[in-house]
Amino acid sequence: MAHSLLVKGVKVDPETRCSHYHSEIDRIAIKFFCCGIYYPCYECHEAVGCGKSEVWPKERFSEKAVLCGACGHELTVNEYLNCASTCPACSAPFNPGCSLHKHLYFE
C-alpha cells in the first residue's frame, strides 16, 4: 500500500520504488490501463501483473493514472506528461528518465 492505494510489484517501498527502479527520484506508480492497478514500472507489471499490457489511449489522458509516491497525489496522464518531472502537489522530483519508457504506458 502506498498512501492507502494498492501498488503491486516486486519489493515495493512506501514511496513506490521497486526492485527494478529504486533511486531516490523513482517515486511514481502508474495505473495500468489493462487492469486498473498501480505498479511502479512495466517490469513489475510483467512479473506480477495481468499479463495483457495495454497503454492508455489519448482520449483517456484526462483520467488519473499516476501516483506520486511522496505525497499520494494522483495525477492525470496529461498532468504527468506536462509536470516537468515534479509533483504538482508536493514538488517532489520524479525521475526524468521515465520519459524514455512512456510509450510502454501511454499512446
pLDDT digits (tens, 9 = 90+) for 10-50: 999 999 999 999 999 999 999 999 999 999 999 999 999 99
Backbone φ, ψ for residue 82 (5° rounding): -110, 10
What nine digits make up the cell of 20?
527494478
Domain assignment present for 17: no
- How many domains does the chain contain in total? 1
Domain assignment present for 4: no
Domain assignment present for 2: no
Domain assignment present for 37: yes
Percentages of the chain per state (helix, strand, coil), in multiples of 5:
20, 20, 60
pTM here is 0.95
Q: How large is the average pLDDT for residues 55-61?
A: 98
Could you list the residue range(s) of the whole structural domain that residue 93 is in?
Answer: 28-104
The pLDDT assigned to 54 comes to 95
Domain assignment present for 19: no
Domain assignment present for 6: no
